[in-house]
Amino acid sequence: MYFVFFVVTCPVKKIAILNGPNLDRLGKRQPEIYGTATLKDLERLLRAEARVLGVALTFFQSNHEGALIDKIHALTDAGVDAFIVNFGGYSHTSIALRDALAASAKPAVEVHISDITKREPFRRKSITAGACIALISGEGLPGYVAALRRLAKVR
């Protein structure tokens, strides 16, 4: 009696997490709004969840709009499957970031640690969210985990 086994391998989904201005200051900047966890804490949290979900992550943070746009282009060209973005203050002002994300034609979820609908009037509207399949706001760092779980399911 012979047994034949077929191993089907699926490529690992690649998800990029892009954080914009001032997110490198997590843990120090307005902890009453953003909490005391750092950007490294967020990366550890997401890496642990990624292992469970079987996805690969890439992290990038910049305080510069052009660097974020360049990274979207480079990651798209490199074959990234999806994006989790928190463009910080640029979310409310940057048509260029929205255009770059839309041009990637990749699913994206925008995350905000604080609830932007309960912040200053100029923060309540996100321009960049229009290029995303979802917006998660006000869930703290677990909002990133929710975004990761959602994108891990997207085909």
Task: Say whether 90 is catalytic.
Answer: no
Residues 145-154 have pLDDT tens digits of 999 999 999 8
Domains of the chain: 13-153 (3.40.50.9100)
End-to-end, the C-alpha distance of the chain in Å comes to 38
Taking Cα atoms as reference points, which of 78, 82, 90, 98 lies closest to residue 152? Answer: 82
- Please give the full DSSP string across 102-124, using - where no structure is assigned: HHHT--EEEEESS-GGGS-GGGS
Looking at the predicted structure, is the pLDDT value of residue 106 above 50? yes
Least confident among 49-53, 60-64, 113-117:
113-117
Cα–Cα distances in angstroms (integers) from residue 61 to residues 9, 21, 87, in the given order:
32, 8, 9
Mean pLDDT of the chain: 93
Side chain identity at residue 87, one-letter code: F
- Mean pLDDT on 128-137: 98
Q: How far apart are CA 34 and CA 23, in angstroms?
A: 9
Q: How far apart are CA 81 and CA 103, in angstroms?
A: 13
Task: Say whether 112 is catalytic.
Answer: yes
Higher-confidence position of 33 and 128: 128
pLDDT > 70 fraction of the chain, expressed in percent and rounded: 93
The catalytic position among 34, 90, 92, 144 is 34
The catalytic position among 90, 92, 112, 144 is 112
Give this prediction's pTM: 0.90
In the beta sheet, which residues pair with residue 108? 83
- pLDDT for the residue 7: 45
Q: How far apart are CA 111 and CA 131, in angstroms?
A: 13
